[in-house]
Amino acid sequence: VNQQRQITSFFGKS
Amino acid sequence: MLELRLVQGSLLKKVLESIKDLVNDANFDCSSTGFSLQAMDSSHVALVSLLLRSEGFEHYRCDRNLSMGMNLGNMSKMLKCAGNDDIITIKADDGGDTVTFMFESPTQDKIADFEMKLMDIDSEHLGIPDAEYHSIVRMPSSEFQRICKDLSTIGDTVVISVTKEGVKFSTAGDIGTANIVLRQNTTVDKPEDAIVIEMNEPVSLSFALRYMNSFTKATPLSDTVTISLSSELPVVVEYKVAEMGYIRYYLAPKIEE
């Protein structure tokens, strides 16, 4: 099953 | 004090139409570099990054860095009241709670002021690391829009694969499957019609078509779109905004768990 990832799991708070 | 005068006001109208369905409220940041925005959609799956460089404005005054929270739906309502040929000026006072949009007709015989209430928005600014992308595809933006629209009538997810054969857009749904392959084509009369595929490594990633379709609202801004892909990284879909900046959409992939 393809799970939708969130953008926050790739880019951290700056 | 902030005063930004944009002769080609239609660009700002188009920018708003490109982001208002993805993001409800956002902070516009103004600095000596330019007028910018970074915001995520409500489910934190996509991120939009906008930059309009200060040099692109006829007059650009920004005494100190300013962040203005705006409801994009309301901002769009106001900008829709500007004519396509109007000059748009954005004005705000430091620490004020309103922003003013001034619309001037090209012949200067009609001048309108629209004042909009600002809002406090708690938003986290994300750091977007520089990445080397495995594959970069440049194509006519209208072609990309057509592909996303067509595929979303068949399925919910698009698989974008780049190989040395070209770039393939695939989907599957209850009624069947669809595959669209584009090959590199640089022998065109107009450079904006070219399909340029720069492949460092083959890549194949899955994305929700609902978001891709939303990104294509930026099609009127640019004849071409650039799609940058790397394994297990968000895709970047970029539209240039005339000579003055860009809208970049980042979309997290669907990954097999």
CA-based torsion, B75, B80, B83, B84: positive or negative: positive
Q: If we measure between CA atoms, which residue out of B182, B184, B226, B229 comes closest to residue B205?
A: B229
**Residues of A whose CB is below 8 A from B256:** 1-3
Q: How confident is the model at residue B256 (pLDDT cuts 50, 70, 90)?
A: confident
Mean local confidence (pLDDT), B51-73: 96
Q: How confident is the model at residue B124 (pLDDT cuts 50, 70, 90)?
A: confident
d(CA B206, CA B212): 11
Among candidates B125, B206, B234 on the partner chain, residue whose Cβ is nearest the Cβ of A7: B234
CB contact under 8 A, B256 and A6: no
In this prediction, residue B67 carries a pLDDT of 95
Among candidates B45, B128, B253 on the partner chain, residue whose Cβ is nearest the Cβ of A11: B128
In this prediction, residue A12 carries a pLDDT of 87
In this prediction, residue A5 carries a pLDDT of 95
Task: Give the closest-approach CA distance of B208 to chain A in angstroms.
Answer: 8
Per-window interface: A 1-14 vs B, CB < 8 A: 1-14
Instruction: Give the other-Cβ count within 10 Å of B208's Cβ.
Output: 21
Q: Is the pLDDT of residue B118 over 90?
A: yes
- What is the ipTM for the molecules in this complex? 0.94
Mean of per-residue pLDDT scores for chain B: 96
> Residue B57 contacts by C-beta under 8 Å, 6 or more apart in sequence?
B4, B5, B6, B35, B244
Q: If we measure between CA atoms, which residue out of B253, B26, B237, B240 comes closest to residue B148?
A: B237
In this prediction, residue B174 carries a pLDDT of 97
Query: Could you report the per-residue pLDDT of A1-14, keeping only the tens digit for each?
Result: 689 999 999 998 87
Contact indicator for B206, A2 with CB cutoff of 8 Å = yes
Higher pLDDT, B82 or B122: B82
DSSP state of A7: G
Q: Percent of chain B, pLDDT > 90?
A: 95
Task: Give the closest-approach CA distance of B60 to chain A in angstroms.
Answer: 27
d(CA B248, CA B251): 10
Q: How confident is the model at residue B239 (pLDDT cuts 50, 70, 90)?
A: very high
Query: Could you report the per-residue pLDDT of B202-236, keeping only the tens digit for each?
Result: 999 999 999 999 999 999 999 999 999 999 899 99
Q: Is the pLDDT of residue B2 over 90?
A: yes
Q: How confident is the model at residue B36 (pLDDT cuts 50, 70, 90)?
A: very high
The token pair at B91 is 């004005």
Q: Does the CB of B175 have a partner CB in chain A at under 8 Å?
A: no
Count of CB pairs separated by less than 8 Å, A with B = 58
d(CA B5, CA B193): 32
**Residues of B whose CB is below 8 A from A9:** 252
Task: Give the closest-approach CA distance of A4 to chain B in angstroms.
Answer: 4
In this prediction, residue B95 carries a pLDDT of 87
**Residues of B whose CB is below 8 A from A11:** 47, 126-129, 234, 250
CB contact under 8 A, A2 and B157: yes
Q: Does the CB of B124 have a partner CB in chain A at under 8 Å?
A: yes
In this prediction, residue B184 carries a pLDDT of 97
Beta strands at B25-30 and B34-40: parallel, antiparallel or unpaired: antiparallel
Q: Which residue of B has its CA nearest to A4?
A: B254
d(CA B77, CA B114): 10
In this prediction, residue B88 carries a pLDDT of 98
